[in-house]
Structure 1
Amino acid sequence: MPITPRFKIKQTDTKLEIIIHLPHIRVSASTLDMLVDGYDFHFHSSPYLLYLSFPGRMVDDAETLREAKATYDPSNQNGVLTVSIFKEDEGYWKDLDLLGNLVNNGSSGDFPSQTIPREKIQVMDSSETPSEGNDVKNHEDNRTCFTDDIQACLKPYYGFLNMHHSVFTAYAREGLSFEMLEIPNPDEMPEDKRRETRLSVEYEKFDGDRYLGDLFLSSDPNDEEADMIFIEAMRMETHWSDSTSVGDLISDMERLKTEDVDPGENLNQDFFSDDERLQMVDNKAQIPPMDTITQEQSESLYLSLIDILYAYVYDHRTTMGDATCESSWTIVMLSPTLSWFESYTPPYDTIRSVFQWSIRRAMIYPYLRNYAFVGETLVTDVCKILDGGKRVIIRSLLQIQKILEGSEFHYLFNKLYINEYISWIQKVEEGDLKKFVSKVKSEVKNPFDKSCFGLDLDSLEEEAFSIPEGDEEDESSSDESSSDGDDSSENSEEEDSREKHDQSTFVDRSSTNLLDDNIGRGNILLVDQSSEAKGLATKSQKQEKKQSLIVELE
């Protein structure tokens, strides 16, 4: 099977430059096949095959000195072929860095084609005359096909634009739906029952204690009790942190330019890495022509894109951009589109309601359930990705695709959703995307009320942080007793101070310190403060004004 080589495209107003990476092969004029045919460019050099369709016509005409040329440099990355082709009309072609739009895989596209439509081919005559037996057989076959078509119409549909059905019963291995989905029996559950069942399951799985435990997580790295995953997630610098879109940068550059060139082209050409370009080229998706997708279908696709991106930014932050073996589970479980095949129906479903479903699941399933993180930070992240334009969105989807592709259980989501989303977002009009982004910003500028999630968060917090009536009475009584205690303590302190003062005037006298002639007598001995130093006690001191203690000696 031929291999699509890595390549990238540069352009001026008159020429295209297709740079093809052909490592470790022998290249010569006899082994290279190259054809420029109007909008199409064909290249073949075993084992590589490249077929590109451009938005404008190209020429390869030696007579007018506009001949296509190719040069091969074996010293550059082990082999690079550079093909230069003239444009028929001068000017810049947009979005040549979105290689998925250029790769022609034989499906219908948005570019002009010389293929004769099937409806234009008519059978004028046929010599084949069917027999009577064949008529009966064909009639039975038609009845069987008709019955199958009716049964297929009654089956639940899911996936991108609801293009798939019976995948888990007809194609996937047994038990895969249980491993990769939360929805039970996806090929049997009607679409109108999915949301009701999902909300019921979510409510049963909600853990109020976990929610309250994460409500006031510390973001201080010096706090020994802080959750380091939360701290790193909050201060992480993401690839969408600089939310200035390519379109805004181009507008700023156009105001400064001095030459008649498109400043956005060079900026776009270096946005994606080589691996991302190859991933776009290898992306296999079958989507209908853009002009056949209705406005309602487009709005539904945008809404599902929101919850997919929301799940992605949660995982990206909590893993510091380095996906783990749990990343595919996290992305699938946080996205209602992926885990329950949720299909949004505008205008009944709004941008705000989609965010509500995503935030709700983020407070039920993953590790971090801090409301400020899932209800504010992640919402801002999604807005920044959308505001960054097609390329930031595509980069995010490519990372999701890579994560799911490496999962043992969740790889099928790429075929159901992500591959098509990568192809579709490359084809959407920039103006339509900007209008949608403007609506998103308008919808989420006000914070979400916790009552909208249907989890009784307000009553849960009120019950957890309020003081019961009995405790209030005990607390008030304890306050009164503490105030009384304060008064009594003040009085006791005064008494203690007096006692200490009195004790300071009393000389502790043992029997050895007493005069021998006073021992055994019953008279009262008065001790004068002035006698403290002398250690004497006499009867003449009865008349002193300052008396401190009366000691009765028996």
Structure 2
Amino acid sequence: MITPKFSCSQTDDSLITSIYCPSVRAADVEINVDNTVLIVHINPYFLRLNFPYPVEEDDNSSAQYDPSSGYLTITLTKSVKGQHFPDLDLLATLLAPRPSRPQTRPSIEVLDPSTDDAITDISKRADALSLDDEFAQAAKNEWQLPQALPDPASGFHTSSKRYYGFLDAFTGYFAYVNHTENEINELGDDAEACNAEERRARRIAHENEKWNEEHYMADYTEDEYIQELINWHDPDLTSTAEVVLTEDENMAILRLPRKEYIMNTFQEHNLYLTLITLMYAHAYDKRTTLNDPTTESAWTICNLIAAFSALDPPPYSPGELTGGAALDFTDAELTSTLVSSYRRSLAFPLYRSFQLAERCRTDVAATLRRGKRLITRYLLRVKDILDHHDVYYIYSKIWVEDFCVWIQGGASDVVLTRIGEKLDALKVPKSAIGWDLEELEEATRLAVNRDSDSDDESIE
């Protein structure tokens, strides 16, 4: 089945869905409305939308097909007149499966074994069980299996597989990494064997190895072009207009998978931290290319994200989520997340400047404050850049694709705004980077002044 192109709009009393399905017979259209769910089937198209609030079919509802334009327009009545339906422009939110329903009865019922009728009662209930009942219940739930988080894993593992990526849901993607030209992979042939501690240790060691004092001092001294990059005004962040996703962006959203993410508060907390590193890498590439991605953009973005190059996502400081709400982020954990991005931007790409790193931080803060739509746009851009690379598309598959889906239906604008405000006010000390930046800068200034004085004396 093909998911058709569609859009949704609303009035005070109605919800209007326009579906592009050219060259079909109107008589073959099947429409079903069930509370918050709209299902439309017309061969070869199938569309199931989950609205935030209930809708219904009544005398004011209608369905009209225009053969000349190929659009089917369905008008449904809101169950509560005047109710506003949010996020109708975020298509992935509408396409996401309906959240799993909790069980309405316990799975196990404890009977009193002291009674003589207990065994007889159990036997009767067992005889009454039928696969037909199970199928009926499944059909009632729209053939969606109930989802639940497994119990926390113990320290004992029966499998040698290592998991990584979005919600640690992927494995095996680097089994043959030695046969590809993956220049950003910092784990080598051991990518599938390293545990979390080993990944972090290798990442930090590789960053220290790549750190180049001379490169940093040179960019600190001759920073005319870097200052131009820092002073460049990002039109997306300077505009106050509402972000409206384009037709191409909506088509890209329609190609995303339909997923429901079951996670605990700790996992959700860490996704927001990882999102910061993704937005930082995008901000750095966008600013250094002046919003015109180059052939090196995929390499730059992947190198700046530790979750990609070393499969090592945040959190980077111990004791996260201790005291306070799960989605309240401390300055310490936000700083540790940014330090990883700062270090990588000072060790790998062409332009290595602490001032530029600070400018990228403010870009990330402004992006998060603007909300899910702008973040969705940026994630789709990153996905497009990586998808067109022969090797780095793998990081789009195990990270970015799921972020594109989750950010629309799972993330909270309130939380994003709160993180953005904290990042904007945050001060990352140079001492936290670990490479004696202040001493290097002071030595560079003294050397420049000494050379300047020598030139003046020679002229005299």
What TM-score range do you get, normalising by the shorter chain? 0.7 to 0.9
Paired residues of 1:156 and 1:187 also in contact (CA < 8 A): yes
The amino acid across from 2:166 in the alignment is: F
CA 1:286–1:42 in 2, change beyond 3 Å: closer, same or farther? closer
Equivalent residue number for residue 3 of structure 2: 4
Q: Which amino acid aligns with 1:288?
A: Y
- Unaligned stretches of 5+ in structure 1? 128-148, 220-226, 247-266, 487-554
Change (3 A) 1:57 1:461: closer
Indicate if the aligned counterparts of 2:210 and 2:347 stay in contact, CA closer than 8 A.
yes
CA distance in 2, matches of 1:287, 1:416: 16
Q: Does 1:191 align with 2:196?
A: yes
Shift of 1:400: 1.0
Separation (CA, whole Å) in 1 of partners of 2:288 and 2:234: 12
- 2:53 counterpart of 1:56: yes
Equivalent in the alignment of 1:503: none
Show the counterpart of 1:506.
Answer: none
| Alignment-derived partner of residue 438 in structure 1 | 421
| Distance of 1:179 and 1:48 partners within structure 2 | 42
Q: Give the direction of change, closer, same or farther, for the CA distance of 1:365–1:350 in structure 2 (3 Å limit).
A: same
Shift of 1:363: 1.1
Query: Which residue identity lines up with residue 196 of structure 2 in the other structure?
Result: E
Per the alignment, residue 69 of structure 1 pairs with 63
Note closer, same or farther for the CA distance 1:122–1:331 as it changes in structure 2 (3 Å cut): farther
Indicate the residue corresponding to 1:110 in structure 2.
Answer: 99
Aligned CA RMSD, in angstroms, stands at 3.4
Aligned partner of 2:158 in structure 1 is 151
Shift of 1:97: 1.3
Task: Specify the SS of the correspondent of 1:350.
Answer: helix
Q: Could you tell me how far 1:155 is from its partner in structure 2? A: 3.5
The 3 A distance-change label for structure 1 pair 196 and 89 is same
| Contact kept in structure 1, 2:41 and 2:47, CA below 8 Å | yes
Structure 2: unaligned runs, 5 residues or longer: 109-124, 132-155, 321-331
Q: Does the 8 Å CA contact 1:38/1:57 hold for their aligned counterparts?
A: yes
Does the C-alpha gap of structure 1 residues 188 and 201 become closer, same or farther in structure 2, counting only changes over 3 Å? same
Distance in 1 of aligned mates of 2:300 and 2:79: 50
CA distance in 1, matches of 2:446, 2:184: 41
> Deviation at 1:157?
2.4
Cα displacement (A) at 1:347: 4.0
Q: 1:123 to 1:48 in 2, by over 3 A?
A: farther
> Are 1:308 and 2:299 matched, yes or no?
no
CA separation of 1:407 and 1:217: change in aligned 2, threshold 3 A: same
Q: 1:176 to 1:353 in 2, by over 3 A?
A: same
Contact 2:369 2:418 in 1 (8 A): no
- Aligned ranges 1:463-474 → 2 under 5 Å: 463-466=443-446
1:252-401 → structure 2 map (5 Å cutoff): 271-284=244-257, 286-289=259-262, 293-345=263-315, 347-348=319-320, 350-374=333-357, 376-401=358-383
Residues 285, 370 of structure 1: CA spacing in aligned structure 2 closer, same or farther, 3 A cutoff? farther
Alignment CA distance shift 1:235-1:6 (3 Å) = same
Give how far 1:414 is off.
2.1
Where do residues 58-207 of structure 1 align in structure 2 (5 Å cutoff)? 58-61=55-58, 65-72=59-66, 74=68, 76=69, 79-90=70-81, 91-104=83-96, 109-110=98-99, 124=128, 150-152=157-159, 154-169=160-175, 175-176=179-180, 178-179=182-183, 181-184=185-188, 185-207=190-212
Question: Amino acid of the residue matched to residue 333 of structure 2?
Answer: T
Partners of 2:223 and 2:439 in 1: how far apart? Answer: 23
Offset, 1:159: 0.9
Letter of the 2:392 counterpart? H
The one-letter amino acid paired with 2:2 is: I
Cα distance, 1:180 vs structure 2: 5.2
**Is the contact made by 1:330 and 1:366 (CA closer than 8 Å) also made in structure 2?**
yes
| Residues 92 and 111 of structure 1: CA distance in aligned 2, closer, same or farther (over 3 Å) | farther
CA shift for structure 1 position 411 = 1.1
Give the structure 2 partner of residue 458 of structure 1: 438
Aligned to 1:46: 43
Q: How far is 1:418 from its partner?
A: 1.2
Distance 1:439 1:111, change over 3 A: farther
Q: For 2:297 and 2:400, locate their aligned partners in 1 and report how far apart those are by CA, in whole Å.
A: 15
Q: Does structure 1 residue 409 correspond to structure 2 residue 406?
A: no
Question: In the alignment, which residue of structure 2 is the partner of 1:496?
Answer: none
CA–CA separation in structure 1 for the residues paired with 2:274 and 2:370: 18
The letter for the 1-side match of 2:186 is: E
Other-structure match for 1:28: 25
Tell me the distance in 2 between the aligned counterparts of 1:359 and 1:103: 37
Aligned twin of 1:249: none
1:260-307 deviations in Å (ceiling 9; x for gaps): xxxxxxx67xx1111112222221154533xxx333222211111111
What is the Cα deviation at residue 118 of structure 1? 12
Q: Which string of whole-angstrom CA distances, capped at 9 and with x for unpartnered residues, describes residues 466-497 of structure 1?
A: 369xx99x98xx98xx9xxx9xxxxxxxxxxx
Report if the CA contact (8 A) 1:19-1:83 is conserved. Answer: yes
Mapped partners of 1:123, 1:86: distance in 2: 45
Aligned-partner SS, 2:271: helix
Shift of 1:3: 1.9
CA contact (8 A) 1:216 1:370 kept: no
Contact conserved, 1:8 with 1:277, CA < 8 A, in 2? Answer: no
**Amino acid across the alignment from 1:452:** A
Task: Give secondary structure in 1 for the equivalent of 2:66.
Answer: strand
Greater RCO (Cα-Cα under 8 Å, separation 6 or more): 2
CA distance 1:117–1:45, shift in 2 (3 Å): farther
Change in Cα spacing, 1:213 to 1:287, as seen in structure 2 (3 Å) is: farther
What letter corresponds to residue 65 of structure 2 in structure 1? T
Contact in 1 for aligned 2:184/2:303 (Cα 8 Å): no
Decide whether aligned partners of structure 1 residues 118 and 175 sit closer, same or farther in structure 2, where only a CA change above 3 A counts.
Answer: farther
The one-letter amino acid paired with 1:26 is: S
Q: Helix, strand or coil for the counterpart of 1:44?
A: strand
Q: Given residue 89 of structure 1, which amino acid in structure 2 is its aligned partner?
A: V
Corresponding letter in the other structure for 1:53: N
Greater Rg, structure 1 or structure 2? 1
SS in 2 for 1:214: helix
Q: Percent identity?
A: 28
Residues 73-112 of structure 1 show CA distances to partners (whole Å, capped at 9, x for unaligned) of: 52x4xx33322111222211111111111114xxx54376
Question: How far, CA to CA, are the matches of 2:379 and 2:106 in structure 1?
Answer: 35
The 1-side partners of 2:46 and 2:168 are apart by: 32
Q: Which residue of 2 aligns with 1:213?
A: 218
Distance in 2, matches of 1:123 and 1:450, equals: 71
Instruction: Give the letter for the 2:95 counterpart.
Output: V
